[in-house]
Amino acid sequence: MSKRPNFLFFITDQQRADWLGCYGHPVLKTPNIDAIAARGMRFDNFHTASPVCMPNRASLLTGRYPSVHGLRYNGCVLPETANTFVDVLAGAGYDTAAIGKSHLQPFTGQPPMGHTLESVAAISEAWSVQRQDTYAEEPAHYTSDQRYEIKTPYYGYQHVDMVTSHGDRCGGHYGQWFRDAAPDWKAQHDPTNELPHNYSCPQAYRTPIPEDLYPTAYVRDRAVDYLTSRTGDDTPFFTFVSFPDPHHPFNPPGKYWDMYSPDDFDVSLPYDAHQNPTPPMCWLHDNWTERGGQPTPQTAMMLDEQQLKEAMALTAGMMAFVDDAVGDVMAALTESCHADNTVVCYNSDHGDYLGDFNMLLKGALPNRSITRVPFIWSDPIAPEQDSTDALCSTVDLAATILERAGLEPFNGNQGRSFLPVTMGGEAPREEALVEYNDGGNRLGFTSPARVRALLTKEWRYTIYRDQDWGELYDLGKDPQETHNLWDSVEHKDIRAYLAERLNHHLIAQMDDSPQADRIA
């Protein structure tokens, strides 16, 4: 095929890999996403660069780890001077569009955990930070009735339909559209108008907003509009379709609320299944039994079995809506007559503990439930293959997409193209680095957690800054990570080997850009 390929990239927010039918979920039905997998390749060992939204999304676009691209934890900003693979595509003549959640800049006016806005303003930073006029996700930009026009290119995107935040009260362009489409929008946002239900799970909220006005529908409809506009246009395109769900709060609208019952689900990996829980797990357990609550809505917590099953049922409802939306977007791709030259990808920015060891949400513990995410590559020219266990990372996406487009990544890219895997070739790596940096003190840590994990097909090795404990799991014998071998005498040699390998990865976290342009 001589024409440059198009790309349609679906991404969800906070979806673990095993929450799709094609990944073997015993209850959740996702026929439209499964259909993409049936025509492509399912990656069974795909991991995030960081198991939180903003750092990993920045790693996706830049092909660089958070330590290097600068968006190290939620609440930071990906510098607008950062080049992305979307910039490279646009420079090569691609039409580029971002529809839905971007989250490369903060989208609230709230100060970070443990600070006030006044204290933040008084902090003297090591670098001079000057936010330019294109700081687009500032909430105030979207308060007027007239659509806010983001100055483009926005990290390489020439067309942007922005959705900020989560749940049924998202902002950005969606928020502006919602206020226009729903004359009674204030009543629909009023918590006192929540529809009746009997769920006790924290953040379970039965929204009165109808399905056609919910953020998933907005992302679907804008993606359909964009693809429809491509009919008859042979200019290659890259379209990023980003759903805010199934991220909490747990509020699927309309029929999706009770599409699944809590009785359909099991908590198959309770807290007691872990043979030697780590200090943060013990802290979470004590906080749960002592009813300590959450310091922020985003902080991981432990819940009882019924509440977890409710969270699972509502997550399944949100995923069912996403799957239906994916089906509609795929139909629009077919109708646009571009399906036979479009690479379709499906991914998530990170996972959710979602019941593992009674935990919910995400946090400093880099279990596979939050680092392992779905990834599907469906390419019209690739041979038919079911799945691969090749170890890949979010940082590899930029290099892979650019290679498929026949383009070179910029200097400083840290990823490795896995395009050969999609063609039946070798995996690009034997190890993957996962970084986690917290923005506040949580889970019993006395300072913001700094965590680094090294993953191989056989092992997960994790070190926590300034802690005298760590984690070592034999993934071959213990794929559910129930027995920490950190203190095992029998495993001291593998622990030492992995520590040395992690040191090499950490040494590599030096920015190679820019290159020297002359001899000193």
Query: Tell me: the pLDDT tens digits for 89-137?
Result: 999 999 999 999 987 776 665 555 554 545 445 545 555 555 444 455 6
Please give the pLDDT value at position 128: 55
Cβ atoms of 30 and 21 within 8 Å: the answer is: yes
Please give the pLDDT value at position 74: 75
Angle at 227 between CA 221 and CA 231, to 5 degrees: 135
Please give the pLDDT value at position 79: 84
Please give the pLDDT value at position 8: 98
Residue 279: name the closest of 420, 106, 467 by CA: 467
Amino acid at 148: Y
For residue 249, say if its preceding peptide bond is cis, omega within 30 degrees of 0. Answer: yes
Cβ atoms of 227 and 95 within 8 Å: the answer is: no
Residue numbers in the chain where pLDDT is lower than 70: 1-2, 106-137
Please give the pLDDT value at position 520: 73
Q: Write out the two tokens for 456.
A: 């191989």
Residues in the chain: 520
Identify the CATH assignment for 6-112+132-429 out of 3.40.720.10, 3.90.1580.10, 3.20.20.240, 3.30.360.10: 3.40.720.10
Contacts of 89 (CB under 8 A, 6+ apart): 96, 156, 238, 401, 402, 405, 407
Please give the pLDDT value at position 133: 43
Please give the pLDDT value at position 518: 76
Query: Tell me: the pLDDT tens digits for 380-401?
Result: 999 888 999 999 999 999 999 9
List phi, psi (to 5°) of 218: -65, -50
Residue 144: name the closest of 183, 112, 116, 172 by CA: 172
As a whole number of angstroms, the distance between CA 103 and CA 74 comes to 9
Residue 167's region, left for phi above 0, alpha for psi from -120 to 50, else beta, is left
Count the alpha carbons within 13 Å of 453 in the hemisphere toward its beta carbon.
27
Please give the pLDDT value at position 109: 56
Count the alpha carbons within 13 Å of 325 in the hemisphere toward its beta carbon.
31
Residue 113: name the closest of 447, 362, 451, 354 by CA: 447
Please give the pLDDT value at position 71: 86
Helices (H) and strands (E) counted in the chain, each on its own, are: 14, 17
Total-model pTM: 0.95
Cα 283 to Cα 72, 288, 293, 436: the distances in Å are 25, 8, 12, 19
